[in-house]
Chains A and B, each alone.
Chain A
Amino acid sequence: MTDTFPRIAVRRTYKLYVGGAFPRSESGRSYPVTSSAGDHLANAALASRKDVRDAVVAARKAFLGWSGRTAYNRGQILYRVAEMMEGRRSQFAEEVGAAEGVGKARAQALVSAAVDRWVYYAGWADKFGQLLGGANPVSGPYFNLSEPEPTGVVGILAPTGSSLLGLVSVLAPVLTSGNTAVLVASEDAPLPAITLAEALATSDLPAGAANILTGRLSELAAPLAGHADVNALDLAGAGGLAAELEALAATTLKRVRRPGGDDWDDTDPGLSRIKPFLEIKTVWHPIGR
């Protein structure tokens, strides 16, 4: 009779998600993540300003390709993200429960809502353009058409209190229109963000379209807000830093969505998070023989 040893579980390493890869922070640092009850959950990568830089480079590189996809294709890929999340429901629920201190049923409801949000924004991909653009009846022999375009690279400070649903609610609308994103996850509850990154990585989303950093908001937000190659900023999770970051963003006249006014449980947020990250381009052409 031989002794039976309990199997030693294989723990996950939570890394950053940059350019489609999962690097550790270039700084080599990590920080402990605890549950809402204070139990140690894991060590997450502690990203540095250089990781911000790398992520912006990756996002810029991905922009032309992602924005150049057909709207239908982007919708398909966002839906694929929902599919990939669905397969990891229990893992997400566990992490959300631990991070937010909610019961199992609420955690599962939050995961469901997050999955459904991808589906919701998948559907928007090929519809917002018709609502926001169109032909303009100018007084002259010109065909004049306005259409919305993605603004470019969007820096997102994910909401701090809603580790998965809030996260998806800010990321999906930015991606659906063809922007690429550099997202700083909730500092205290970053694990669902990294698990989401693993779903994104298997979802056909092109490398670099979404980049996710974990670490200190106070360290990452300013380099992101000040980066000249970032076109817009979503300050959802900026907290007390919002005013300072908005002022920093003014240096290169970034589009800024100020924090507030969000209800993550709202299943139909409409265009409220799509529009701030669009540009209206108007093209004129003469009409003649």
Chain B
Amino acid sequence: MPDTVPGSLRAYLHGLPGVDEVGVGRRAADLATRSIKTTAKRSAIDLAISMVDLTTLEGADTPGKVRALAAKAVRPDPADPTAPSVAALCVYPDMVAVAAEALKGSGVGLASVATGFPAGRTSLEVKLADTSAAVAAGATEIDMVIDRGAFLAGDYRKVFDEITAVKEQCGPAHLKVILETGELVTHDNVRRASWLALHAGADFIKTSTGKVAPAATLPVTLIMLEAVRDYRAATGRQVGVKPAGGIRTTKDAIRYLVLVKEIAGDDWLDPAWFRLGASTLLNDLLMQRTKLATGHYGGPDYYTID
């Protein structure tokens, strides 16, 4: 349920404390120097795998491609059944039915982007129809995009109302709200958009569509983690965070986990509260996992290309 937001949205959002870009960058860079070795690395890799939203969002997506990826989501490393499943498979709405069939009984979540992803430049009716179609086809999670145009034009009410409307349309499905931080540009905007989405009822706030550069960055994710941390302290409701796009290596993924641990806290170190939106990341995580287990470096031919 959306919370009531005091006063005018604009006054509220612009009353949030500012964000100093250099200070955030310094903090993120400092945390990026955390050295995660041996047992810590092992648990981090498995945790990261279990947090992956394995994603394919291409115009060229086909049922075959989606089925292959679903198989990988369930059992990422065919050679090693101890590797955990990923958190969810993330596809376009028209692929949801195929994915739902392929994932049936696996316990792996099924996320669908919706609301005219990635630009979101459609009418509210179309966005709602997009959402309900995906939910009806079996999506357990909806990744919506906010109206960045409205946000940048200062029409915060429009952005807020759209989120609440989509949330209502989601029914039992979890709602991830994509801020597309690469288009919001400033850290102050990221903080305001985060709080807007939180108050509007988001279950997750997500950095990016992956279609705009820059996608996820450590500083932006740090600000969003601060937002969910502070929002829970203020309201008691916990909301998840999902950086997406540009996270390709195990090193990247572990840096995000360090951020989660030290900014939001251990409560968020769970696939229910933190996701990594990625596609190629999974193979690197698997390769590093094998390296830790066997002591030998692996090669790409030993991991599936899907």
A and B touch in the complex (CB under 8 A): yes
Cβ of A7 within 8 Å of any chain B Cβ, yes or no, is no
* A-binding segment of B18-26, B60-68, B104-112, B198-206: B18-26
- Interchain CA distance A16-B23 in the complex, whole Å: 54
Cβ of B304 within 8 Å of any chain A Cβ, yes or no, is no
Closest Cβ–Cβ distance, residue A208 to chain B (whole Å)? 41
Cβ of A261 within 8 Å of any chain B Cβ, yes or no, is no
Inter-chain contacts of A6 with B (CB < 8 A): none
- Interchain CA distance A142-B187 in the complex, whole Å: 17
Cβ of A287 within 8 Å of any chain B Cβ, yes or no, is yes
Contact mask for chain A residues 137-176; partner B; CB cutoff 8 A; 1 contact, 0 none: 0000110000000000000000000000000000000000
Inter-chain contacts of B22 with A (CB < 8 A): 141-142, 286-288
Inter-chain contacts of B23 with A (CB < 8 A): 286
Cβ of B186 within 8 Å of any chain A Cβ, yes or no, is yes
Closest Cβ–Cβ distance, residue A288 to chain B (whole Å)? 3
Cβ of B185 within 8 Å of any chain A Cβ, yes or no, is yes
Cβ of A289 within 8 Å of any chain B Cβ, yes or no, is yes
Residue of B nearest to A285 (CB): B22
Q: Which of B176-201 contact A (CB under 8 A)?
A: 185-187
- Interchain CA distance A141-B22 in the complex, whole Å: 7
What secondary structure prevails in chain A residues at the interface with B? loop
Q: Which of B11-36 contact A (CB under 8 A)?
A: 20-23, 25
Inter-chain contacts of A286 with B (CB < 8 A): 20-23
Inter-chain contacts of B187 with A (CB < 8 A): 288-289
What secondary structure prevails in chain B residues at the interface with A? helix
Interface band, chain A: under 10
Residue of A nearest to B22 (CB): A286
- Interchain CA distance A287-B187 in the complex, whole Å: 13
- Interchain CA distance A141-B21 in the complex, whole Å: 10
Closest Cβ–Cβ distance, residue B121 to chain A (whole Å)? 25
Closest Cβ–Cβ distance, residue B206 to chain A (whole Å)? 22
Q: Which of B70-109 contact A (CB under 8 A)?
A: none
- Interchain CA distance A287-B25 in the complex, whole Å: 12
Residue of A nearest to B186 (CB): A289
Inter-chain contacts of A142 with B (CB < 8 A): 22
- Interchain CA distance A287-B23 in the complex, whole Å: 10
Closest Cβ–Cβ distance, residue A143 to chain B (whole Å)? 10
- Interchain CA distance A127-B243 in the complex, whole Å: 53
- Interchain CA distance A289-B190 in the complex, whole Å: 12
Inter-chain contacts of A289 with B (CB < 8 A): 21, 185-187
Closest Cβ–Cβ distance, residue B28 to chain A (whole Å)? 13
- Interchain CA distance A289-B22 in the complex, whole Å: 9
Inter-chain contacts of B25 with A (CB < 8 A): 141, 288
Inter-chain contacts of B186 with A (CB < 8 A): 289
- Interchain CA distance A52-B268 in the complex, whole Å: 67
- Interchain CA distance A179-B16 in the complex, whole Å: 42
Residue of B nearest to A287 (CB): B22
Closest Cβ–Cβ distance, residue A286 to chain B (whole Å)? 3
Inter-chain contacts of A288 with B (CB < 8 A): 20-22, 25, 187
- Interchain CA distance A176-B299 in the complex, whole Å: 74
Contact mask for chain A residues 103-147; partner B; CB cutoff 8 A; 1 contact, 0 none: 000000000000000000000000000000000000001100000
Inter-chain contacts of B20 with A (CB < 8 A): 286, 288
- Interchain CA distance A141-B20 in the complex, whole Å: 12
Closest Cβ–Cβ distance, residue A80 to chain B (whole Å)? 45
Q: Which A residues are within 8 Å of any B CB, using their own CB? A: 141-142, 286-289
17 A-B contact pairs sorted by A residue (CB < 8 Å):
A141-B22, A141-B25, A142-B22, A286-B20, A286-B21, A286-B22, A286-B23, A287-B22, A288-B20, A288-B21, A288-B22, A288-B25, A288-B187, A289-B21, A289-B185, A289-B186, A289-B187
What 10 A-B pairs are tightest by C-beta distance, nearest first?
A288-B21, A286-B22, A288-B22, A289-B186, A141-B22, A289-B21, A286-B20, A288-B20, A286-B23, A287-B22
